[in-house]
Structure 1
Amino acid sequence: MRHLAGLLVGLVVTAAVLGGGGWAVRHALDVAAATTADEKTMWIALSSMAAVGLVVGLVTAGRISPLATFVPSMVLLAWTVVYALDVNRALSLIPTGQSVNQIVLEAGVGAKTLLTSGVYALLGVALFIPVLMPSRWSRRQDDLDDDYETSPEGGYY
């Protein structure tokens, strides 16, 4: 059950990184390129980046299933590998067109920036590190487990 919850959390983290991170970067770059800074937009973009960073940090440091970091790391690393092998194919995965919502379009522009600059590769590797820790795959030892493990006579071997 813990790994199913980790899978669902991993999907949420993936959406937060791709959607929220992309949207925040797009607006932060717009504020940086503007001659007059719109402080409201800047604070919204920075707080969105901080929220995405908080989610990634909690999942990375938390004691949840390693699938919570494995899913977004594989998405980010796979997209980076596709970008390294075929740039046009990787960029075609970004949503564009008239029928796409404006927020999704803005998130796609930011995601393109993060993909082409290598931030997704960096974040994918950082999210993959907790998967390599064996202690993340085993469950916690409870005090109740000790009652069933010991016997007064000892074992046969």
Structure 2
Amino acid sequence: MRHLAGLLIGLVVTAAVLGGGGWAVQQAYGSVAATPPDSQKMWIALGAMAAIGLVVGLVTAGRISPLATFVPSMVLLAWTVVYALDVNRALSLIPAEASVNQIVRDAGFGARTMLTTGVLALLGVVLFIPVLMPSRWSRRHDDLDEEYETTPEGSYY
């Protein structure tokens, strides 16, 4: 059950990094490029980045199933490998059509920026490190769960 919850958390973290992180990067980039810098947009984008960083940090350091970090790390690293092998194919995965909602397009453009600058590769490696820890795969050992047999009085053992 713990690994199923870890899988679901991993999907949420993947969506947060790609969707929320991409949107925040695009908003920050757009507010800096504006002629009068829009400080409110910048603060909102920085707050979104901080929230996503907090989620990634909690999942990385927490005692959740390692699938919570394995799923997003594999998505980010696989997309980076596809980008390294075939740039056009990797960039074609980003929704950029006019029929797509503007928020999704902003998230896509921000994800493109993170992909082309190597940020997704960095996050993928950071999220993969907890998977290598053997203690993350085993269940925490509680003293209350221990059941041991008591020896009867007069026993030789």
Q: Report matched runs for 1:21-100 at 5 Å.
A: 21-100=21-100
SS in 2 for 1:146: coil
What amino acid is aligned across from residue 51 of structure 1 in structure 2? Answer: A
Percentage of pairs with the same residue = 77
Query: How far apart are 1:30 and its partner, in Å?
Result: 1.0
- The one-character-per-residue Cα deviations of 1:49-88 (angstroms, maximum 9, x if unpaired) are 0011011001001100000000000000000000000000
Provide the TM-score with structure 1 as the length reference. 0.94
> Structure 2 vs 1, CA of residues 147 and 92 (structure 1 numbering), >3 Å: closer, same or farther?
same
Unpaired segments of 5 or more residues in structure 1? none
CA distance in 1, matches of 2:78, 2:61: 23
CA distance in 1, matches of 2:24, 2:118: 16
| 25-34 vs 15-24, which moves further | 25-34
Query: How far apart are 1:147 and its partner, in Å?
Result: 2.0
Q: Is the 8 A contact 2:32 2:38 kept in 1?
A: no
Aligned to 2:107: 107
Provide the TM-score with structure 2 as the length reference. 0.94
Unpaired segments of 5 or more residues in structure 2? none
Q: Max radius of gyration: which structure?
A: 2
Query: How far apart are 1:146 and its partner, in Å?
Result: 2.4
Aligned to 1:144: 144
SS in 2 for 1:139: coil
CA distance in 2, matches of 1:67, 1:134: 13
Task: Quote the RMSD (CA, aligned, Å).
Answer: 1.5
CA distance in 2, matches of 1:14, 1:67: 12
Query: How far apart are 1:132 and its partner, in Å?
Result: 0.2
Aligned to 1:116: 116
